[in-house]
Amino acid sequence: MNILIAILVLGVIIFTHELGHFAAAKFFKMPVSEFAIGMGPQVYSYDTMKTTYSLRAIPIGGFVNIEGMDIDSEVEDGFNTKPAYARFIVLIAGVFMNFLLAFIVLFITVYSNGMYKPETKPIIGEVFPNTAASKYIKAGDKILDIDGNAITQWKDIGATITKVTKDNKEIDNIVVTLEREGQAQTLDVPLTKDPNEDRKILGVVPKFIKEPISIGEAAKLSVKSGVKIFTDTLNGLKMIVTGKVKTKELTGPIGIIKVVGDASNQGVSVVLWLMALISVNIGVLNLLPFPALDGGRLIFVILEMVGVKINKKVEERVHIAGMIFLFGLIIFITTNDIFNLVK
């Protein structure tokens, strides 16, 4: 079941990307001979007068066959017969749809889950299990007093502990009065040394309350999250180029299927967040100015738009070389995925 969910997630992302190319090509009246989801031999196809819609045996990848992209093509209204701006829009439409999908998925996730805000009352949400206080304090306890200091708000807890330990740095325990199941209790609670800072802590976090969020706020947070994923993806690529990420750590379609499959056990929200993450990643990768990718083709179109003419045969050879390299890279990463799964 997990694998099916993962394949469905990838299928939606790929379908959305190819739909962008397809819709833009149709808008500019470019002939599209096939819209395929998957790779390999056809499993199912539906033929219309102008386009064949097909599902292929290997449920990874997909393509839109826009006619007229070959140099010697004489197809009427073919891709290369259209003005540069039209070709630019068709090429970038897939990436745009990837980003749009990510925004929609993030928006649905944020809007449906609402905003979680910390409770201002001194109610314990969680006690860190590796702290000494975990044996004394439980989630749901309400702190009433610490060493004779009344606690009325959550911020009072940290402020009081800081004050008490500052006055007596040798102190290891504090007297905590709390309310548990309607009963007041007074406990001698040990503090824990913070491994990151020179201080002692109780090791608790507040209770969080789910609050509804407006459509506007959800949209704003979705854009902010999408931009964060985008910049993280660019930073990740930079780490790969500079050698900070080892090649054996690269993950391809098989590895992604495993990650998404495992995430499906953690709920719909996690799967949707991963869908947005993968969609942005695919969009960024397709924008790279590398031959055969959308970004590589866009470079030649942009050069044409600014008046720089490139020999079409030279361009075709560059894209063929890029395609060969990409196939080799895919084989390497897939082999790496299989090796990691077996290991």
Instruction: Summarize pLDDT for 210-223 with one digit per residue, the tens.
Output: 888 899 999 999 99
- Across the range 53-80, mean pLDDT stands at 85
Nearest by Cα to 106 from 209, 211, 221, 213: 221
Q: What is the band of 244 on the pLDDT scale with cuts at 50, 70, 90?
A: confident
Residue 124 has pLDDT above 90, yes or no: yes
> For residue 85, what pLDDT is reported?
94
Dihedral sign, CA of 230, 234, 90, 33?
Answer: negative
Q: Residue 184: how many CB atoms within 10 A of its CB? A: 11
d(CA 16, CA 163): 56
Q: Residue 270: how many CB atoms within 10 A of its CB? A: 15
Residue 1 has pLDDT above 70, yes or no: no
d(CA 137, CA 151): 15
Question: Is residue 126 within 8 Å of 245, Cβ to Cβ?
Answer: no
Residue 209 has pLDDT above 70, yes or no: yes
Count the alpha carbons within 13 Å of 40 in the hemisphere toward its beta carbon.
7
Contacts of 134 (CB under 8 A, 6+ apart): 127, 128, 203
Least confident of 96-100, 235-239, 299-303: 235-239
Residue 341 has pLDDT above 70, yes or no: no
Residue 4 in tokens: 């099916």
DSSP 8-state symbol, 132: G
Report the interhelical angle of 215-241 vs 268-287 (nearest 10°). 50
Question: Is residue 4 within 8 Å of 38, Cβ to Cβ?
Answer: no
% of the chain exceeding 90 in pLDDT: 43
Report the interhelical angle of 253-263 vs 268-287 (nearest 10°). 160
> For residue 168, what pLDDT is reported?
77
Residues with catalytic roles: 18
Residue 112 in tokens: 């449906």
- Across the range 11-26, mean pLDDT stands at 93
> For residue 69, what pLDDT is reported?
84
Nearest by Cα to 284 from 238, 223, 324: 238
Q: For the chain, what is the mean pLDDT? A: 86
Nearest by Cα to 334 from 274, 326, 2: 326
d(CA 300, CA 319): 11
- Across the range 196-209, mean pLDDT stands at 86
Query: Greater confidence, 330 or 153?
Result: 153
